[in-house]
Structure 1
């Protein structure tokens, strides 16, 4: 799994128990999945269609640095399925896993659009092919 993003848990990210609010973490995951998909599919018209069961395994506290990892499970005709793990950067302890996040590629009218991708592409590889 490739960990692309780090977040610093700040006071405004906490719940009443003093730990990272799950809704905040899910918003960060959704944003990371969208950014990853936009880069992979080379289209900024992306929507989240589905998030599978999530599994909170541990918590994070104020001052912790977390990192969000994304992997591709499969490429569909108009979608990409990802999985995600969030872990504590310092301890490597897993905070949450999401087995399937389905992101859908759209055209300018908001309709599903085939993306033609079949494998992970790195931006550096695209640039070297130009």
Structure 2
């Protein structure tokens, strides 16, 4: 399979934080942000794999670095940063922006592992990803360390 440039999977979404999306402090629910992250990662993986079905295999730790309030805009950006045989690592960055003041802040970042599914419902091969820019190469070059960390994290303890 021919490698696909990383930029081809780039996906951007904008979401408005509305009152039903927030808690009693007018801050967006973390679960809502996680749902947005999972959605954009899925779309990004679908674009790369050219498959309509992908599944979330894992979400690395998610740290909520700042909150978003009612009326803020969330800007989500995602890219496939590396691939395995059937899996794709997707990086998602979420920023919040106050449209009145122009203040922008990083809300969260996460890496997800998505798996492409074939018509038979089983994992199917995906094309390799080709990094081109310096930033893309950094994500790509550091992916093996993240993959090893995931393997260690999910390994069951032995008695």
Same fold by TM-score, threshold 0.5 exceeded?
A: yes
In structure 2, stretches of 5+ residues that fail to align are: 1-6, 132-159
Q: TM-score, normalised by structure 2?
A: 0.69
SS state at 1:74 partner: strand
1:3, distance to aligned residue in structure 2 (A): 6.3
Alignment root-mean-square deviation, CA: 1.8
Q: Where has structure 1 moved over 3 Å in runs of 4 or more?
A: none
> Which residue of the partner structure matches residue 140 of structure 2?
none
| Helix, strand or coil at the partner of 2:46 | helix
Matches within 5 A, 1:1-130: 4-89=12-97, 90-98=102-110, 100-119=111-130
Q: Which has the larger radius of gyration?
A: 2
- Check the 8 A contact 1:3/1:67 in 2, yes or no: no
**Preserved contact between residue 41 and residue 117 of structure 1 (Cα < 8 Å):** no
Residue 45 (structure 1) shift: 1.2
Deviations 1:7-58 (A, max 9, x none): 0000111013220000011001100011111111110110000000001000
State the Cα distance separating 1:84 from its structure 2 match.
1.4
Provide TM-score, normalisation by structure 1.
0.84
Q: Does the residue aligned with 2:41 lie in a helix, a strand or coil?
A: helix
Tell me the matched-pair count: 119
Cα separation, partners in 2 of 1:18 and 1:85, compared to 1, 3 Å: same
Q: Compare the two structures and name the one with the higher helix fraction.
A: 2
